[in-house]
Amino acid sequence: MSDGPTAVSDDWTPSARELERAAYRRRRARRSLLVAAASTAGVTTLLAWALVSAPGWPRVRDSFLSWDAARRSLPDVAVGLWLNLRMFAVVAVAMLLLGLAVAVARQLPGPVFWPVRALATAYVDLFRGMPLLVLLYLVGFGVAGLRLQGVPASATVLGGVALTLSYSAYVAEVFRAGIESVHPAQRAAGRALGLTSGQTLRLVVLPQAVRRVVPPLLNDLASLIKDSGLVSVLGIPLDAVRYAQIWSAQLANFTPYVVAGALFMLVTIPLTRLTDALARRRGYLPQGAHL
Amino acid sequence: MTPGPPLLRVAGLRKAYRGGDAVLAGLDLDVAAHEVVVLVGASGSGKSTLLRCIDLLEPVDDGTIELDGREITDPRVDADAVRARLGMVFQSFNLFPHLTVLGNLTLAPRRVHGLPREQARERALAVLDRVGLAARAGAHPDELSGGQQQRVAIARALVNDPVLMLFDEVTSALDPELVGEVLDLVRDLRADGRTMIVATHEIGFARQVADRVCFLDGGRVLEQGPPAQVLGDPVHERTRRFLRRLPT
């Protein structure tokens, strides 16, 4: 209907000035690379020297970086990590579903849903406010101690439940922030079409909200992997940290913990990189970070 | 204009936003079927508020609104069913950014009016063709120009075949060169015999498209009549002053 702009005809060859600028930028880039390399080498050497020359270094090296202890504990710690990863997979799905349900429950309109809203708010207050460690003891030992019919007594399952309770409360708040970030005009447009408030939430608001909170959710997932190691306080689940504990006691050496830490980082670092990449693609982080 | 009850009857409508003065203070307005009523008036005169009240997007403080002789401001009325019969077009388009153009158009036909997917799709494509955007059915709203987005928004309202269409300053967010394509479309709808209430600042357009122009001031319709009279030779001094301040 309206005329667009005239198409650009392009027979461009770089001007002498542009060639000169490009050459200058290349020289600068080479120089930057050299400076960065020199600076990295310098800082690394300095840190290594500070560490090695510390008075307690020989003892710390023996008890935290023992090659022999690492070699002997690695197989068991790796087996333990497999349990952490399986717990993570189950808890991650459970916390996302529960968190979304709680966030939606807090949005339900009308007096009928008052108790649901109140319950959802209390849920978030309770489980977000309580230290995870305390929650693990309460669920892992307290609930197990009730010996209720049908409640699993497995410490692994109960530990997973405690993680789910705590993390779903956080995730509910992330979802809620996403829901509230969708402009009210979107709701108005949905309602104006005759959609009910529930349909508007499900078909208009939530799809936009969920897309927006993917980076913070990935952040919580990375955090969940690490905190799955806390179930070791229940004693029974033989996860990576618990195996590290056992080997550490057996060898009178802290190296197995370092091994466990390194294995966790092998999982969490790729996940956080993925988070950054996603966030950048969606424009949450500045593209021109060099400025 | 026509005998019998009007399609829409607004009587004594009052609306104040929380903590503010009344925007509408006992406004009366009748709209007959196939009539095009244009609302003009200064910013804050209540044009948008009136449209939002008619679409039941704002609760009213007093007065009544009747559609087809039935009061829709009655709290026992199913507001979703009323909104499903009306079509609203917003100043800032309010397209759903996560859906394609086609997805925007088929949402209400499928979810509100219960059309099967294929049928909703066919209807949506027919309406898109009508607004000249059939080729962009698969695009997302952010890939379209402002004028195209607003035409999609009009199509999204049109696809439900509303008994009354409400246009809330639909060209105010557009570049001047894109205003024309949207106004052309509204003119086409008038030729089809659509009943419309159009809030606008485009006085030239109001003159062409209106059966009746209503000048809103002080929370009421201060004066109304054929466009030539209200815009050309208004009775009230307040209307004259408003028109003098506008370009063209």
pLDDT digits (tens, 9 = 90+) for B203-233: 888 988 899 999 999 899 999 999 999 998 9
DSSP-assigned letters across all residues of A14-68? --HHHHHHHHHHHHHHHHHHHHHHHHHHHHHHHHHHHHHTSTTHHHHHHHHS-HH
What's the rounded Cα separation, in Å, for the pair A162 and A137?
9
Q: What is the number of domains present in chain B? A: 1
Coil/strand/helix, residue B136? helix
pLDDT surpasses 60 at A291: no
pLDDT surpasses 70 at A3: no
Give the tokens for residue A3.
């005329």
Domain assignment present for B23? yes
Domain assignment present for B103? yes
The CATH number assigned to the domain holding B24 equals 3.40.50.300
Contact check, Cβ <8 Å, A196/B57:
no
Domain assignment present for B90? yes
Q: Which residues are registered as beta bridge partners of B165? A: B87, B196
User: Domain A85-236: which topology?
Assistant: MetI-like fold (1.10.3720)
What's the rounded Cα separation, in Å, for the pair B57 and A191?
8
Pairing of strands B36-40, B22-31: unpaired
Supply the range of the domain harboring residue B184. Answer: 8-245
Contacts of B115 in chain A (CB under 8 A): none
Which of B111, B129, B161, B187 to substitute to test the interface with A, most A CBs within 10 Å?
B111
What chain B residue is nearest to A183 in terms of C-alpha separation?
Answer: B94
Q: Which of A1, A189, A199 sits opposite B181 (nearest CB)?
A: A1
Q: Which of A1, A199, A204 sits opposite B132 (nearest CB)?
A: A1
Q: Cα distance from A106 to chain B (closest Cα, Å)?
A: 22
pLDDT of res. B175: 84
Domain assignment present for B178? yes
What's the rounded Cα separation, in Å, for the pair A228 and A163?
7
Q: Does A7 touch chain B (CB under 8 A)?
A: no
> How large is the average pLDDT for residues B4-25?
89
In degrees to the nearest 10, what's the CA dihedral of B98, B101, B104, B107? -110
pLDDT surpasses 60 at A23: yes
Domain assignment present for B159? yes
pLDDT surpasses 50 at A286: no
pLDDT digits (tens, 9 = 90+) for B127-157: 999 889 999 999 999 899 988 999 999 999 9
Give which of A71, A268, A262, A192 is closest to B58, Cα–Cα. Answer: A192
ipTM of the complex: 0.88
Q: Is B164 exposed, middle or buried (0-12, 13-18, 19+ CB in 10 A)?
A: buried
pLDDT of res. A4: 67
Q: Please, which residues 188-247 of chain A have a Cβ atom closer than 8 Å to chain B?
A: 188-196, 199, 203-204, 207-208, 211
pLDDT digits (tens, 9 = 90+) for B16-62: 988 788 899 999 999 999 999 999 999 889 999 999 999 999 999 99
Contact check, Cβ <8 Å, A208/B97:
yes
Domain boundaries, chain A: 85-236
Contact check, Cβ <8 Å, B111/A1:
no
Q: Please, which residues 73-102 of chain B have a Cβ atom closer than 8 Å to chain A?
A: 80-81, 83-88, 90, 92, 94-98
Give the tokens for residue A68.
């022999």
pLDDT digits (tens, 9 = 90+) for A74-86: 888 888 889 888 8
Contact between B15 and B22 under an 8 Å Cβ cutoff? The reply is yes
Contact check, Cβ <8 Å, A189/B90:
yes
Give the tokens for residue A207.
């799809």
Pairing of strands B36-40, B196-199: parallel
Contacts of A193 in chain B (CB under 8 A): 83-84, 107-108, 112, 156-157, 160
Contact check, Cβ <8 Å, A191/B98:
no
- Average pLDDT of chain A is 86
Contact check, Cβ <8 Å, B111/A211:
no
